[in-house]
Structure 1
């Protein structure tokens, strides 16, 4: 009798385990099949030639590959490191886990209201779209949906991550063109520059010009031409144009303030002409000091303005924030062409 009871219990246990395993495998198999069908990654990132990022507010940014370079849809330069961050995520993204059933509705609602949409194109054709819905509570995963040309759109969100990295995916994707804009202003080799004109409107004694005449140079400082010129100092000055960047786009001034700034008198106007005839003009404006107190600037004057940063109007009309530290090597001509250094004549 005992043997029969043990056998019955054993069979019952095996049947129960079988049913549970079958149910579990059936559910898991369906989920695995779903995850496999909706892969987030694209391993051949070299074939990705267009990316469209759309934020919840409708702001859209289009990135286009042209050869090895990336630009926006107007052909303007974009920061390559940020494109790399996207392609890295596209290559290394992977499934991390399922969204708990009791949280699915909340996650879907959140993705609908604050989600970011990212469309990927390969060799000119749409290939895949990500729907990014924010991070998990531990900030180690991101809620995502995926849609592909082969499998359609997934009906339930999952948690994704980037292989080998901790953190969330969402910060890599934004559509504000100011955040994408390249910060480079000048990137000239010395022999590409034909003329530089630096005009300090408030202090003409600090203004100067450098002109290339065939293989020689002519320098005018403080209204006087230098008759005895150290060419090495000219070379040292022109080498500073190899890399001049602005710090940030404008995130502070309103449209009214921008209009007022542009109608004011710049403290400096910088003009550069290349040997190919390209011309660039920058208009520079003082920035109000945050402290409100006077400080000694790089020229030794007590200034009520910010002595670290100023506003600059680019040739496009855009106002950007710049650092004196970056621009002083091309603005402070007295370092290279001080009148006391040379015998000068008018």
Structure 2
């Protein structure tokens, strides 16, 4: 009888141990999955992204408005393609590997001292936060740590992105200038009432076009009519005022340098009057940094500074704006 009791107790203990082990394994697996579940399956429902850069102590908040477009703080216009890139990263992120135990302590210190904190919201609710750290030595992976409303990982892991070979950290930034919309103006030919170009580099190339009606135009240069204007070429020129963008915001000029530039008359002025809106753009040539002999001034042949109506400086390409300020060579 005693042997039966001993055997029964032994079996019970074994079954209990098996249950405990299985339970621990299940919990461990669940925890492991939660700690590496960086991906967001439904990015269409993501409506807010908060990014904080611990190194620069700056942040950026992006929200999706009622029409589905993304905005910055105070309704700031942002390039939609940038947010689309971030959402793509959230959807395609994948685990690449684990940090070796021998390196874990240092990796945690590095990540906590310098990282990008990316908080992701769906339908107004916070769902997870990425702590995006530095790259691996081969620059093919990124050290990241995950936090959700239920749990925060203690240890970073190495992640990548499906179909992408490189570092994920540069895909999340807080510099508002990198987000700003690059569009300047857009006028269809039928909207335009007049175009005036003031060219102080070559004053004889200044001109003004006035649309009198659908078939009649008045074209002058320095107050005098330009004879023999080629109408087809003039219409071609006026068709070029749609979807004009700048190349990039000002990353190099200080406030003092901008004030110094503004103290001079613009090298070019573009004044557009439309039926419902108008636009004025001042432009200044840029000195070529690579060519600066003492007795000669050389100007950048690819870019110039544009000053928007709100006073912001932007870098513009001659490729984009050149045809609009050199129209006389087209229609004369």
Same-fold status (TM-score > 0.5): yes
Match of 2:252 in 1: 252
Match among 307, 316, 322 for residue 310 of structure 2:
316
Deviation at 1:93, TM superposition (A): 1.1
In structure 2, what is the equivalent of residue 120 of structure 1? 120
Residue in 2 that maps onto 1:139: 139
Pair 104,89 (structure 1): closer, same or farther in 2 beyond 3 Å: same
Structure 1 residue 214: Cα displacement: 3.7
- What CA distance in whole angstroms lies between the structure 1 residues aligned with 2:297 and 2:236? 29
Q: How high is the TM-score relative to the length of structure 1?
A: 0.81
- Are 1:205 and 1:223, in contact at CA under 8 Å, matched by a contact in 2? no
2:302 equivalent to 1:325: no
CA distance in 1, matches of 2:111, 2:182: 32
Query: Residue 74 of structure 1: SS of its match in structure 2?
Result: helix
Distance 1:112 1:274 in 2: 54
Unmatched runs of 5 consecutive residues or more in structure 1: 1-18, 295-301, 339-346
Structure 1 residue 275 displacement after superposition: 1.7
Residue by residue over 1:126-164, the C-alpha shift from the partner in whole angstroms, topping out at 9 and shown as x without a partner, is: 222111011112222211111223x23222211122123
Deviation of 1:95 (Å): 2.2
1:209 touches 1:220 (CA, 8 Å); kept in 2? Answer: yes
Partner of 2:181: 182
Q: 1: distance between equivalents of 2:182 and 2:325?
A: 19
Distance of aligned partners of 1:51 and 1:222 in 2 relative to their CA distance in 1, 3 Å threshold: same
Partner in structure 1 of residue 206 of structure 2: 207
> What is the rounded CA distance, in whole Å, between the counterparts of 1:272 and 1:196 in structure 2?
5
Q: Which moved more, 1:188-197 or 1:170-179?
A: 188-197
Cα deviation digits, residues 238-258 of structure 1 (max 9, x gap): 111123222222222222112
Question: Which position in structure 2 is the counterpart of 1:45?
Answer: 43
1:197 and 1:336 mapped to 2: Cα distance? 15
- Paired residues of 1:313 and 1:319 also in contact (CA < 8 A): yes
Hey, what's the Cα distance between the residues in 2 that align with 1:227 and 1:329? Answer: 21
Shift of 1:227: 6.3
TM-score (norm 2): 0.84
2:261 is equivalent to residue 267 of structure 1: no
Quick check: 1:35–1:95 contact (8 Å CA) kept in 2? no
Count of aligned residue pairs for this structure pair: 308
